[in-house]
Amino acid sequence: MHVLVLGSGQLARMMSLAGAPLNITMSAYDVTTDRVVHPLTQAVIEQTLDQAIAAADVITAEFEHIPHDILAICDKSGKFRPSTDAIKAGGDRRLEKTLLDNSGVKNATYYVINNRADFDAAIQHVGIPMVLKSALGGYDGKGQWRLKDAAQVDTIWQEMQECLNSSTHQAIVAEQFVPFDREVSLVGARSASGEVAVYPLAENIHVNGVLSLSTAIDAPELQEQAKKMFTAVANSLDYIGVLAIEFFDVNGELLVNEIAPRVHNSGHWTQQGAEVCQFENHVRAVCGLPLGSTKLVRETAMINILGEDTLPNALLAMEGCHIHWYGKDKRPGRKMGHINVTADYSGELQRKLCEIADHLDENAFPAVHEVAQKIRS
């Protein structure tokens, strides 16, 4: 079988690696350059998008910010999975909120802002403090403002106005500031026949809005809540493939922060920590194959490599330490790769995280250092 992926970044690369043992080949469509490329080498394949669509058995996506005209062309072929509605909901916070509400899934109180009168109404409805997020194009904490004090209203409005004027379709979603204890996410898959399989929850640490460290956790009550919400959202979309849901844990109660209709950074740990990883399960689901087991096989944590292109070889020499580079050119803050670290039990995982922290620069890997400090104290 041949799969065409919309997007040619690291997620397409890892899907391609996971599909190879199943004899599933892949090409990727770079939406920004309008080129079809090989997802591992980035070598250009001399095909137009129409030709690539015709040559594919299945089409899927590695990100949600895809122009709707491209989605429409893919949809017309009847080959696109999970579904164009799911991708659109992931790329527009207004649609996402409507989806969550219609699925009966709890999320933060919100208000959609199109103009200054809406902003004033949002302040009444949602209250201060609030988080303001652009409806379109925002990811990894980009296009966001924190309104903590009424004195900031006019200054923040100036910036919001610029954002609103940037596109006729743009809006801003005001969200209640959630005083969460921690952030967790659930990654899982739904097959064409409606079977659902979820991985254990991951606890996530973000630095400046970007995921830095994810650890698979054993939290049966939260897992149960998360799985119910996951199933409600996936069923309401008649979803096919891997879906990720990010949550805030507030006193043991989960509120959805956002959904990602694709494989997700907080699921990279499954490459070493689960029986079948998220990339293979996505490929299996979209190709109509049975889902693989999502069972945890080893305690695992994942550390994002941001803006760095070399790591000490001592890490590779450590048992249970696996490095995944994405083959990208170095840029400050860019997701360049990740480290998966595994252990037989959680105390050993903690010991290994401390050992890894000793090899890494504190400025480049603040979350690992913070965790190591906590473990040691």
Residue with tokens 């699921």: 267
Bind-site residues: 93, 133, 138-144, 175-178, 183, 206, 257-258
State the amino acid at position 100 in one-letter form.
Answer: L
- Is residue 215 within 8 A of residue 269, CB to CB? The reply is yes
Strand partners, 185: 202, 246
Residue 58 or 242 with smaller CB distance to ligand AMP: 242
Q: How far is the CB of 254 from ligand AMP (least distance, A)?
A: 13
257 sits near ligand AMP (criterion: CB under 6 A) = yes
Residue of 282, 255, 351, 256 lying closest to 59 (CA atoms): 282
- Does the footprint of ligand AMP cover residue 92 (CB under 6 A)? no
**Closest chain position to ligand AMP (CB):** 178
Q: Please name the residue that has the structure tokens 């970044």.
A: 9
At closest approach, how far in Å is the CB of 373 from ligand AMP? Answer: 20
One-letter amino acid at 175 equals: E
Distances (CA, A) of 317 to 149, 241, 311: 50, 35, 12
Complex with ligand AMP: residue 73 or 250, whichever CB lies closer: 250
Size of the site for ligand AMP (CB under 6 A): 13
Tokens representing residue 164 in the block: 């609103």
Q: What is the DSSP letter of 290?
A: P
The answer to whether residue 209 forms part of the interface with ligand AMP (CB under 6 A) is yes
Site for ligand AMP in 165-194 (CB under 6 A): 175, 177-178, 183
Q: How far is the CB of 177 from ligand AMP (least distance, A)?
A: 4
Based on CB atoms, which residue is closest to ligand AMP, 4 or 160? 160
Residues 119-148 contacting ligand AMP, CB under 6 A: 131, 133, 141
The answer to whether residues 208 and 48 touch, using CB atoms and an 8 Å cutoff, is no
Among 206, 227, 322, 359, binds ligand AMP (CB under 6 A): 206
Site string for ligand AMP, 231-250 (x = CB under 6 A): ---------------x----
Output the known binding site for ATP: 93, 133, 138-144, 175-178, 183, 206, 257-258
Phi, psi dihedrals of residue 241, rounded to the nearest 5°: 130, -165
Instruction: Give the DSSP letter string of 174-202.
Output: EEEPP--SEEEEEEEEE-TT--EEEPPPE
* Residues near ligand AMP, by CB under 6 A: 108, 131, 133, 141, 175, 177-178, 183, 206, 209, 246, 257-258
